[in-house]
Amino acid sequence: MSDDPAELPAHSDAAWADLRALTRARIALGRSGAAQRSRDVLAFGVDHALARDAVHLPLDEAALQTELAGQGWETLCLHSAAPDRARYLMRPDLGRRLAPESAAALDAACGRWGEIELQPVLADGLSALAVQRHAPAVLAALRERAGPSLRLGPVLIARQARVALGDEIGERLRAQAVLMLIGERPGLSSPDSLGLYLTWAPRRGRSDAERNCISNVRAEGLAPAEAARKLLWLLREARRLGQTGVALKDQSDAPALEAAPAAPRLGGA
């Protein structure tokens, strides 16, 4: 039989080796008789278990606070109105608002933080693993690239949180914009994908159409430094337009815009 991939059967591993090297997606799975091969079935089972585990794995707040303190961040832990994981999964609406005690703690502490241009929130979402692994690196890259000109709030760590929880947080702090770093829904090849959601002028009732999302931040996806670059471009444009969402298209990779300053100045002159 020829070794030329073009002449091999469509199900041959050799015919798809180059393409498989570029993706973790399941493509051109082979078969044994009328069934899938045992190794493919077992690999699917492992990845499915990892995805399910990522949904239920709790966020290690203490470890996250220790790591962020080492970077010089002040932190505050919050909780949504969903009292546990089961309720969080069954009642998405509870994950979109703060528990009363967290709202009170935030209101009591916000006076000492002054004007906030960008408020970062780390949220477990549907994959605490993503936040644990990648959020500190994104924050470090963001602060390094933005420099002292960007007034960042403390890092708020929110458990049982949905994206829209950032709207209430940003509104209570009167922040110009809120950044949610949240674990995305796990996939069979990506149980630790982190999403960044930017909302200008956050307030309760904002819709998903009023946000911009940078997705797939992880080792096999978008690097933290690249995510920070895109985020700061979006933040500068959000201030210019006075809005985020469908009105703000990500053109951060356009050649004509690449030379623009990396760190926005969101305050006064």
Task: List, as residue ranges, the binding site for adenosylcob(III)alamin.
Answer: 163, 184, 213
What is the rounded CA–CA span in Å between residue 17 and residue 33? Answer: 22
Residues comprising the binding site?
163, 184, 213
Tokens of 54: 């990522």
User: What tokens appear for 133 in the block?
Assistant: 């692994």
Q: What amino acid is encoded at 166 in this protein?
A: G
CA 134 to chain centre: 9
**62 phi and psi, to 5 degrees?**
-60, -45
Cα gap 3→47, rounded to integer Å: 32
Cα(51)–Cα(190) distance, rounded to whole angstroms? 8
CB of 171 within 8 A of CB of 204? yes
What SS3 class is residue 261? Answer: coil
The answer to whether 89 touches 149, Cβ cutoff 8 Å, is: no
* 25-48 core/surface letters (b: 16 or more CB in 10 A; e: else): eeeeeeeeeeeeeeeeeeeeeebe
**What crossing angle do the helices spanning 128-146 and 61-70 adopt, rounded to 10°?**
20
What is the C-alpha radius of gyration for the chain, rounded to an integer number of angstroms? Answer: 21
